[in-house]
Amino acid sequence: MKLELGKFEIRDVQFAQRSYIEDHVLYVNKAEVEALVLEDDKLLECHLDIARPGERTRITPVKDVLEPRVKVSGGEIFPGMIGKVSPQVGSGRTHALDGMTVVTVGRIVGFQEGVIDMSGVAADYCPFSKTVNLCVVIEPREGLETHVYEKAGRMAGLKVATYLGELARELEPDTIEVYETKPVFEQAAQYPDLPKVGYIHMLQSQGLLHDTYYYGVDAKQIVPTFMYPTEIMDGAIVSGNCVAPCDKVTTYHHLHNPVIDECYKQHGKTINFMGVILTNENVFLADKERHSDMVAKFTNWLGLDGVLITEEGYGNPDTDLMMNCRKVERAGTKVVLITDEFPGKDGKSQSLADTCEEATALASCGQGNMTLHFPAMDKVIGMQDYIESQIGGWAGCINEDGSFEAEIQIIIASTIANGFNKLAARGY
């Protein structure tokens, strides 16, 4: 598949009488977007707000972060969710609004939504302190069941991102990047002397608001499969989970997968990037065993020399990570793991729930238990009412003035285990 990704550099977002893009500014008709979201009768209220880098603004509780994109050709964006499920995506031309995001915010669904600070010490730990964020703050109808609320929030974000992406359809992007992965034999033949490298992408699929969607299919239901990396750039994978905020792979992060980015950077130079092996993290031992066997079957069958593996979440998915690592290594492919750590508040406990001796190469994304003092902000988009029950907070952690103490795992994507950030941990 070959994809042309046209990027529009967006430097600011402003509300206006109509929605359009001009001179690197995205203008949004607030009322139109709010009405669009409220077409879903599960939602009582919706209002938009804008948060810019450097502002003394906090956004919480954050459900998902997305980037507006549109398929100019080759299918529809977010296939199976908003766009038509067929034709599949990953080729043709896609336009993206780069430098801004859509953030869905609202009363907590369950427990695990997070915080984004646009300035201050916590801003350093969050990639979204550097983007202009259009916040879609929603209020569910009275008594709405949690699964229904989660879906409503998810669809709201996808709708807005799609609506905004559409604005760029006919325009000329600032830059165009071309990504291509050929069918397996051709790809192997293109760079015969370079090591064949693949990316094993593990999706959160633990049920109970811990889901991810692949072309609209709940990832709990999939068995490992092959993907062209460009499919992911077109939203074939969408986040449906509220896993610990620090770890959550937002839809934005799926679109901007750093391992895929890195692999394409090296493609044709130091490696022959063969593609992505997609797998999940189910709660049954049998699934873990079965799927790790299948992953190793793929790496062996594709003749891969090396793979990078990323995980989403922590705890029992560490077992899936280690099973994948062990079986893939034993099947003859070299493995490097990328993940984050949870060694307890004092940093003294084991970082991972499981281990294997084949895990000799691990790039750390930092440890999520360290605590920070989050300063009081001038503006809160959403509400701070839930900080104490959000993961990383605790009873009594919040102060009268709105400042609070919490583990950095309360910050969206602070230790995201796909290697997006520079944060790492080392042993002292």
Residues near another protein (CB under 8 A) are 124, 195, 197, 258-259, 261-263, 266, 270-271, 285, 305-308, 319, 322-323, 334, 336-338, 341, 343, 346-357, 359-367, 370, 408, 418-428
> To the nearest whole angstrom, how small is the minimum distance from the Cβ of residue 309 to another protein?
9
* Comparison of 70 and 337: residue with beta carbon closer to another protein: 337
Q: Which residue has the tokens 């092996």?
A: 277
Separation in Å, CA 316 to CA 49, 131, 284, 321, 322:
37, 33, 10, 9, 10
CB of 98 to another protein, least distance (A): 17
Q: Please pick, among 242, 246, 365, 397, the residue that the annotation labels catalytic.
A: 242
186 exposure class (CB count in 10 Å sphere: 0-12, 13-18, 19+): exposed
CA distance 26 to 7: 13
d(CA 352, CA 341): 6
Q: How far is the CB of 204 from another protein (least distance, A)?
A: 18
Which of residues 84 and 422 has its CB atom nearest to another protein in the complex?
A: 422
Give the chain's length.
428
For another protein, the closer of residues 11 and 345 by Cβ is 345
Q: Could you tell me the CA-to-CA distances from 148 to 39, 154, 237, 249, 258 in Å, in that order?
A: 15, 10, 20, 21, 31
Strands (E) in 269-348, as ranges, are 272-281, 306-310, 334-341
Let me know if 242 is a catalytic residue: yes
- Nearest distance in Å: CB 88, another protein: 25
- Work out whether the CA dihedral 341, 246, 220, 147 comes out positive or negative: positive
How, if at all, do strands 306-310 and 272-281 pair?
Answer: unpaired
CB of 365 to another protein, least distance (A): 5
Whichever of 221 and 360 has its CB closer to another protein, that residue is 360
In 342-397, beta strands by DSSP E: 362-367, 371-374, 379-382
Nearer of residues 50 and 197 to another protein, judged by Cβ: 197
Hey, which residues are catalytic here? 242
